[in-house]
Chains A and B, each alone.
Chain A
């Protein structure tokens, strides 16, 4: 496949100093990746601890530990931990990992640095379905939106894939991206047409569209968990194939890769992950887009490392943003989607400026 120049990131300029030996470079890279992975694991544990301890009613880590280890405790603290903080943390962990991994897959498959799950019609499909749920069926709670949003996300992605591959050249990164943005434009036009004439629906929709972990509870986490788990497994299986596809479809085919199978598995995983995450929390824009760019800085382009590390960093990012949102706006809280965007963007800009971003 000749990749159109439009999506090809600028090639790395030759002339970067070569490592002394190839073997030495490989060990250095492996060490960097292993250290990065370990650091991410530590961060995940720390973020979970913070997410359980911090809130309107701050709890000491000792109290948290007691409540977690002794299920017979019925103190007020134990109730807060088990009924509020643990479900919320679990949901954040799931959704963050799902968004990070789906972003890594999406960028790999579309070879577009703007690759974001939202690109493939996930956000638009989910938003459209949620607005339908509000206007036609009078649904008004996050738990009530879940199945609508999930169905909308799935339908949106399938529609984008069908439209993007219907042209004579079949599905290419550019046609997929364009089909995604065109369908997004169309669906958001319909969303807006419904909302500008109906301020009651806008009133419900505006709180869904910011993206939040608050008020979801354990039932929402249980609803989406099987889909996210399935998506994560598919994504890990898809990663080696993605490395082959990165060399071009013809090369991948020559090396024995069934290209269409890899694409379908990748699409299924992305859809499950991003769809379930959006269904649970509303659209959360930043994680899927940024996390792979950050992770690539220490893993390099290999998807075997990139995919799992993106999942871990996604979880860390989402949980820390949620914790921050509980602290900055006391006694209320700031929705996690907003915190992520406002804190994450300057960080991302600094990253983009500091180093030459590893290209796709």
Chain B
């Protein structure tokens, strides 16, 4: 079988502002052909490489630094007991949870923003992570437990999962009216966010200050003391959800043309819309239970991804991988450079936000 690759310049439709969309490639395998733009291929590949490298570095760095050789030896099953403990029991699950959570938030953000055709429509804004926060803060504040409950990893993650699922179900049920309209979804989501935020703030004012401080760390999103159990649960969920999300992404491309066109092209509108939103909600729920609502990843990363790839809408895969890269690098910095162990959610925002601002200031295009 022979594959031919044509490199064409300037044949892709010009973007608003008259700029060509960049170089495109057509790949033909027998009778099947597909067209890619270079940047939409290069960006995810680079992001994946960056994630792998960062994760590798992350395993070696921290309060107890190890060389690359030591890390590799430990991963291969050799190495001292203390090294094995640090790498395999402390850093590996934490790193893995970080990568997976970033992936899930990036994907979910891209799904929501594309579906609602609004760059502000992310799970942070639509109230799903707020639902999780209500659940978690209630578990921390009302049970009288404190940091113990937080780290024990039993009550709080389940409460968060439940909260996210309830919020997602409410979002779905209240926005559904013979189909989901992006505009209505956003307005209902805002209402959910507002109630969730008020409940969280209220619980924080009613709490003992010690509990409030613990809850505040959770709200920010932290990867401290993640376990293999959490990594495994999240990993299994994502094994199912990521392929579904990528499949939903294909339908999403058609939905962009508007309801009537999509219907005309043979899409079963209601079930396609439902699939996109349900997958996105489940991604958020799985991630938020594992690490808390790591702030702003789902909001910022898809917008960074769309600017890097130069496409029309947030690309799914690139958003997911860039999300993973952002969370991993933020976690690495919290454990190495910074004097005090800050929750990772602070760093994701502190890195991602200026980068998005820089892209905006430098940027030529205003497509979301």
Contacts and interface: CB of A to CB of B under 8 A. Distances in A.
Contact of B16 (A2, A9, A202): A2
B218 to A, nearest CB: 10
A28 interface: no
Interface string B285-299: 000000000011001
B138 to A, nearest CB: 15
Give the interface SS of chain A, mostly helix, strand, loop or mixed: helix
Contacts of B303: 178
B186 to A, nearest CB: 6
A333 B106 CA distance: 40
B366 A5 contact: no
A192 B360 contact: no
Contact of A345 (B182, B192, B343, B348): B192
A159 to B, nearest CB: 9
Interface stretch (B80-88, B112-120, B273-281): B112-120
Interface residues of B, number: 64
Interface stretch (A142-150, A228-236, A265-273, A351-359): A351-359
Nearest to B199: A342
A345 B366 contact: no
A100 to B, nearest CB: 15
Contacts of A285: 194, 197-198
Contact of A10 (B120, B181, B349): B181
B363 interface: yes
Nearest to A169: B366
Interface stretch (A43-51, A74-82, A183-191): A183-191
A175 B220 contact: no
Nearest to A350: B174
Nearest to B357: A182
A172 interface: yes
B187 A113 contact: yes
Interface in B324-368: 340, 342-343, 345-350, 352-354, 356-357, 360-368
Interface in A169-211: 169, 172, 174-175, 177-179, 181-183, 185-186, 188-190, 192-193, 195-197, 199, 202-203, 206-207, 209-210
B204 interface: yes
A97 interface: no
A59 interface: no
B299 A196 contact: no
A151 interface: no
Interface of A: 2, 4-10, 112-114, 119, 163-164, 166-169, 172, 174-175, 177-179, 181-183, 185-186, 188-190, 192-193, 195-197, 199, 202-203, 206-207, 209-210, 285-286, 289, 293, 334-335, 337-338, 340-342, 344-346, 348-349, 352-353, 357, 359
13 contacts: A6-B118, A112-B120, A167-B362, A169-B17, A175-B366, A185-B353, A186-B357, A196-B343, A199-B210, A206-B204, A334-B202, A352-B188, A357-B187
